Structure 1
Amino acid sequence: MSHHDESYVLKTPFHSRVEAACECNVWESWAGYTTPSEYHSVELEYFAARNAAGVFDLSPMTKYRVRGPDAHAYLDRLVTRDLSKLRVGRVMYCVWCNDQGQVMDDGTIFRLAEHDFRLCSQERHLDWLTWSALGFNVEIADETSEVAALALQGPTSCSVLKRLGCAGVDQLKPFDLAEFDFHGREVMISRTGFTGDLGYELWINPDHAEMLWDQLFIAGEDFNI
């Protein structure tokens, strides 16, 4: 769509900043949220992510919190990988299937604590996840609107985060995650992404999303963000 229909689309916590940056004014719907198809041009954004750093609003990505004594056993039943290899503070890419072996979706699982996980996916699956949890002592909550997410991808992305003040971010290995201080607020950073190059994803309270965007671009001025 080339314009907003305020009656039915949701706005992400970064929407005011994304809208100002979206020179093309070409939008589409992602999981009920309005999101730009492109900001300037596909070529410019591609080469920014390949040669410097690019930013992408991941907030519409569906995020489910799975907690409880059986959280590990429950998720291990759904996914095609060995979840026992996923340590606290790590992220795993995987696919999950129904009882017939049909792939339902793919995405990432974050192990936040021993019995506390976050499942991120492209599509919404709360009903199916809840039905699949019968017999397991788990709690499943949709926290999509409670977590703002921003991808920072490209070879200068680590330098940008260090300039932002995230000391030690360069120690993160691929698929590591850790909490960092951001102006007295907490931001979770995972070394994850979809470009095949160096990249990170930032997870923060929606109330602090605009500040994160602003400070990130200030920090990235010297790194061609």
Structure 2
Amino acid sequence: MPYPSALRTGVLVALEFLTWLDEHDLDLGGLRQDRHGRRLDAGNTRTYAIRYFLSWTAGRSLTGKLVVLVFVAEPQSWRDDHSDVYEQARRSGAWNDEFIAMFSTASRAFQEDLDHRGLLREYAVKDAMIAASFLMLAATEMGLATSPMNGWDEAKVKKAIGIGDRDDLAIALLVSVGYAAEERRHPGRRARERNVFHGSHGPVRRGEYHTPGTSVLRQ
């Protein structure tokens, strides 16, 4: 059972959160995750307590349920007009005209090379998965739980989101997002030497050592 002080803190946070909802004409039933993010951005730092409260309400059907995000890769999008991207970067001062001209030319040559080697789809999927990884980090910062999913049927997923007839698109990843119902115990990790290597891939056996840019050397 939680300590009385922890229970008291939880009750106070719940009341503060409900007051904030009332001040912004919101209710638990219609609460969206972006609105919850606004609460945290407004200066409230008790993320864990708010997350616990929302998990409690979700378990009682008082708040929204799980959201599944679908990351779609567009292998042919490089052929589109990207002038709006360049103009936005120019206005923000991030890119100057010289960089825009260089980037536009270099990126098109890069994509044409991928197309020649039949790698457009693979590259687009990787890009979409990079975007998904940053979304998961941002969601965690907001007190949300995420879970990337593999093993789905691409044709069924595409049909579900209305692109069943789009052979030019590919499903990169599905990510579920919501408020965790419980704190799960981490199962632990293998020893670092099983997964992290220096110089070249693969574990070093006794009597051998790796140097960067070379094959395994034997002593």
Q: TM-score category by the smaller chain?
A: under 0.3
Structure 1 or 2: more helix by fraction: 2
Task: Provide the TM-score with structure 2 as the length reference.
Answer: 0.23
Structure 1 or 2: more strand by fraction: 1
